[in-house]
Structure 1
């Protein structure tokens, strides 16, 4: 019975690590080309909840990066400040929504969709108020969405900010692994991309079909899964970068807590039917969702190693798999993450895992069920 339990523990702990290793390996291959072409009409939606300090800059940045005649729509959602007035002063079309019960970005996007429905654009781009799409990425994203007829997600990354400290830098590297490296892996494996909330483009047909009106903690993830199920699987366009500045250390932990709790909850609900759907893209998307956040995965697998005992065959198999995973993570850092994280800070990964222990304890004891805005500077 002890030997059988050891093999069961090996399978449970090795499965997510193996899925992650395959994605990291696939990410090293050249990216699949995405067709682009044409000049679709574009509407950029910027949801704003108490963003008075940054909304003018967000509007100016979006306007300067967007093609001429792009429609710029700010949704001032349940604001207690003058975000709406500042957005109008910056020249953006602005609508206001007040509903203290239905709170969250999904409801703001649904409100914007109803506003645009009388004169819909060819493509809708969603951009958070603290983000900017680099270079000519807006036109590139819109053209790709129009050509594919499906949503397209850019690489949404955090700018390196060394002054924020090493733990925020490590969080930014984890963000890069999820939003760039693993997205590349999903694309090479012909699986749907994940929608990550900002820098995502929808042809109007997909935007009209999306289940937007929701207070889900990870509404972007849920929207992408729902669209993939109806044949509108998001694609990944890693050549386009959507950039944001990281929050302070305490706010970063709060932000990660909200996202990781929402991810685990959505994954638990969505992964089994996707795996059983009988189609490869959905099957792999379901497998992808079985991989917990990286720090949690490493904590679980290291705990499994301690339980297995150093002399057992399952221990040797899991140790070899974790060694391979470590090498692939190092390779991914060398290829994609050098600017995000100095080599010396890789030694702090164990402290990063300890830093996140309270997050996982809170997920068990006080699970977050409400959308919470991340504090900005």
Structure 2
């Protein structure tokens, strides 16, 4: 019995050693102010949108780009209508975007669509200074490009932005996503930025310069989580990814559990893929005291692995161990305490996020408070998702988007 207690203690210590550094990000984000920008320079930008059957929402994204405060003459919108069977291409062209249509059922996924789009642009257009990447369901704040250009002018060749939600108040699933993305933006990426380490790109709403695309000779990231692969590859090559807090993007989150399960299973499988390809290099970088390598290693080796090991270990002891009823109860109590501590930690994350980002969350006060307490349950669902992803073959599948909202409608809540 003493060995079981010792193993659980060791796991708890490992967990604290691995992830306690992130609370430094929280403290820094709460205490420090953002650094002032350097002199801003004008740049010529391309906006890249990979869309698959997005006729319902793509108009609002392009409209939010067309109404940016940044000089419209310096912004060109490109859309790849990827294996579309609806009117996505026609809708985008009507809104003034340059559209390429792609039909390829063998190379499926956002990474391949991005590669195709950049290759076509390279043939038809002069190089741009930088490239923005958005999903078709996004909507931008009117100052988004203006603010991102300031950070680009500061010398960052890769930048991620503040990721908000179009449909925070729909249910516990959409709010679960939204809280995590707000936490990731305001406390993880902002903390990294303030401490001078590298930030992490998260799915959509990011930027890379011409130099980055020339370094790779195009877009070369095709894993299930191409954003994390892009991040890790650049961190390993010495790039420092910046964060622009003032550039706000609104993203649609799933509301159906089946859809959410499928999407997050792809993410979990993608993390496994990235860890398999880059884990050893990140570990070597960590040994060389590269804090960005260590940080990214912790990102792609999520805490859920330690949690799963603890649950499986203690569950096995109860089922197969030769213990008394009292000892079984003691093991159950340890598991209960672990789950309670996880719940309280996640409530803490949701509370801090909700309190500090209150004005940016567009839903009723009641829902803002209620979803603090449902957030842990959303995060707990990663446990079965990760187990299934480990054993199952996972392929990229499109996520349906239906929340067609303007910026004004989003802010109305």
2:131 is the alignment partner of 1:105 = no
- Are residues 329 and 353 of structure 1, via their aligned partners in 2, closer, same or farther at CA, if it must alter by over 3 Å? closer
Q: Structure 1 residue 78: deviation in Å? A: 2.0
Please give the residue correspondences for 1:115-154 in structure 2 after superposition, counting only pairs within 5 Å: 115-117=120-122, 118-154=125-161
Instruction: Please list every run of at least 4 consecutive aligned residues from structure 1 whose deviation after the TM superposition is greater than 4 angstroms.
Output: 295-310, 315-329, 353-357
Number of aligned positions between the proteins:
372
- Are residues 217 and 58 of structure 1, via their aligned partners in 2, closer, same or farther at CA, if it must alter by over 3 Å? same
- When the two structures are superposed, what TM-score results if normalisation uses the length of structure 1? 0.84
Q: Secondary structure at the match of 2:53?
A: coil
Give the Cα separation in 2 of the matches to 1:26 and 1:272: 29
C-alpha deviations, 1:17-52, integer Å up to 9, x for none?
A: 424433333332325425451110111111111212
2:176 is the alignment partner of 1:174 = no
- When the two structures are superposed, what TM-score results if normalisation uses the length of structure 2? 0.77
Q: Hey, what does 2:55 align to over in structure 1?
A: 52
Give the Cα separation in 1 of the matches to 2:168 and 2:256: 11
Q: Hey, what does 2:11 align to over in structure 1?
A: 9
C-alpha deviations, 1:110-142, integer Å up to 9, x for none?
A: 222223335011111112111122121112213
Please give the residue correspondences for 1:1-377 in structure 2 after superposition, counting only pairs within 5 Å: 2=3, 5-33=7-35, 34-35=37-38, 37-65=40-68, 66-69=70-73, 70-117=75-122, 118-162=125-169, 164-210=170-216, 212-250=219-257, 251-267=259-275, 269-277=277-285, 278-289=288-299, 292=302, 327=348, 330-336=351-357, 339=361, 342-368=368-394, 370-377=395-402
Q: Structure 1 residue 324: deviation in Å? A: 7.3
Q: Secondary structure at the match of 1:342?
A: helix
- Are residues 99 and 276 of structure 1, via their aligned partners in 2, closer, same or farther at CA, if it must alter by over 3 Å? same
Give the Cα separation in 1 of the matches to 2:114 and 2:400: 21
Give the Cα separation in 2 of the matches to 1:36 and 1:108: 35
Q: Structure 1 residue 53: deviation in Å? A: 2.2
Query: Structure 2: any 5+ residue segments left out of the alignment?
Result: 318-326, 403-413
**Mean Cα displacement is larger for which, 243-252 or 344-353?**
344-353
- Are residues 36 and 208 of structure 1, via their aligned partners in 2, closer, same or farther at CA, if it must alter by over 3 Å? farther
Q: Structure 1 residue 326: deviation in Å? A: 6.0
Give the Cα separation in 2 of the matches to 1:32 and 1:301: 39
RMSD: 3.5
Give the Cα separation in 1 of the matches to 2:308 and 2:181: 18
- Are residues 373 and 230 of structure 1, via their aligned partners in 2, closer, same or farther at CA, if it must alter by over 3 Å? same
